[in-house]
């Protein structure tokens, strides 16, 4: 079995949304393993803080400000990184936002932001980097941030849920495209369960309907009290990617339970079933 350091002990890593949470954790882990890490985020200050942490721990990193909702910024990033550092070995399409609120109450701008960051950011990360990965002729790894939410239904988190179902489908098709073309590019769907990050930060959710606050706070508290330690989760993710797994989990039991529920739902074609959590924290 390959160990993470055998696969990710050198070379270049690019992580989007790496100023916080899972992106920051994966960037730090890649740096600790010996990769040169390109830390990107829409927030320049937090990206730099991640770089500072990697460098303080003896690693090599640089920060580049990138808004993944703008395809041209991902094109520019790919060009800059390949010019400056050569072939990219590890690309993590991680940047994402949560959006809380009933479908018809979420403003158009927040819908667009959620689709553009969570889904189009992943698609255009792949579109920008893969041709250059192919041209380099070197083995490479791509991890796209899916979610356990990619397999279920969650009312009042519809915008987010839609993007995660789509990222999962995108990653499955991308995996098969690599196989069809016999390319040395490994694709993983990274499926976090509950990892302690800022995604439900009560200060976040710009443009969400006003009554979403309670839902956000309840999710934030649940994550704080029951979420997996971030660095532990990120070690698990890179180890599974090093083993060339398509499915990369933080909570395999939780994933299996939710995926099992979906299989049953599809096989029996029941109406959608309300998750217990949805009733507990539903917005007004």
Ligand X SMILES: NC(=O)c1ccc[n+]([C@@H]2O[C@H](COP(=O)([O-])OP(=O)(O)OC[C@H]3O[C@@H](n4cnc5c(N)ncnc54)[C@H](O)[C@@H]3O)[C@@H](O)[C@H]2O)c1
Residues labelled catalytic: 160
Coil, helix or strand at residue 62: strand
Strands of the sheet with 36-41, listed across from one edge: 60-65, 36-41, 12-15, 88-93, 140-145, 185-191, 247-249
What is the b/e burial string over 128-163, where b = at least 16 CB atoms within 10 angstroms of the residue's CB? bbbebbeeeeeebbbbbbbbbbbbbbbebbbbbbbb
CB of 71 to ligand X, least distance (A): 12
In the bound state with ligand X, the residue whose beta carbon lies nearer, of 133 and 258, is 258
Q: Partners of 87 in the beta sheet?
A: none
Under the binding rule (CB under 6 A), the answer on residue 231 touching ligand X is: no
In whole angstroms, what is the distance from residue 215 CA to residue 200 CA? 9
Considering only 2-10, 11-19, 178-186, 262-270, which stretch makes contact with ligand X by CB under 6 A?
Answer: 11-19
Helix, strand, coil percentages, rounded to 5, for the chain: 55, 15, 30
| Residue 158 makes contact with ligand X by CB under 6 A | no
Of the residues 13, 64, 100, 199, which one makes contact with ligand X according to CB under 6 A:
199
Q: Does 119 bind ligand X (CB under 6 A)?
A: no
Rounded least distance, CB 60 to ligand X, Å: 21
| 33 touching ligand X, by CB under 6 A | no
Does 117 sit near ligand X (CB under 6 A)?
yes
- C-alpha 216/C-alpha 273 separation (Å) is 22
Query: Please, which residue, 113 or 283, has the CB nearer to ligand X?
Result: 113
- SS3 for 279? helix
Is residue 19 at the binding interface for ligand X, with CB under 6 A as the rule? yes
194 binds ligand X (CB under 6 A): yes
Residues that bind ligand X (CB under 6 A): 16-17, 19-23, 41-43, 46, 66-69, 94-97, 117, 145, 147, 192, 194-195, 197-199
């Amino acid at each position: 079995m390959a160990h993470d350091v055998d696969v990710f002990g050198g070379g270049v890593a690019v992580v989007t949304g790496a100023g916080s949470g899972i992106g920051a954790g994966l960037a730090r882990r890649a740096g600790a393993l010996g990769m040169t890490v390109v830390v990107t985020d829409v927030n320049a200050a937090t990206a730099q803080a991640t770089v500072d942490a990697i460098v303080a721990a003896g690693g090599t990193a640089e920060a580049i400000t990138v808004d993944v909702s703008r395809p041209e910024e991902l094109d520019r990033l790919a060009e800059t990184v390949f010019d400056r550092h050569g072939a990219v070995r590890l690309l993590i399409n991680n940047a994402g936002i949560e959006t809380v609120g009933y479908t018809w109450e979420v403003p158009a701008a927040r819908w667009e932001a959620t689709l553009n960051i969570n889904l189009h950011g992943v698609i255009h990360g792949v579109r920008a980097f893969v041709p250059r990965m192919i041209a380099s002729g070197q083995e490479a790894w791509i991890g796209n941030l899916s979610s356990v939410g990619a397999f279920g239904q969650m009312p009042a988190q519809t915008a987010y849920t839609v993007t995660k179902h789509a990222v999962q489908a995108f990653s499955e098709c991308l995996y098969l495209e690599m196989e069809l073309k016999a390319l040395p590019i490994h694709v993983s769907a990274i499926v976090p369960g509950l990892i302690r990050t800022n995604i439900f930060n009560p200060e976040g959710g710009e443009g969400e309907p006003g009554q979403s606050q309670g839902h956000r706070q309840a999710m934030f508290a649940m994550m704080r009290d029951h979420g997996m330690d971030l660095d532990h989760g990120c070690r698990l993710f890179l180890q599974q990617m090093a083993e060339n797994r398509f499915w990369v989990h933080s909570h395999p039991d939780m994933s299996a339970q939710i995926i099992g529920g979906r299989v049953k739902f599809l096989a029996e074609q029941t109406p959608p079933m309300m998750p217990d959590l949805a009733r507990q924290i539903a917005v007004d």
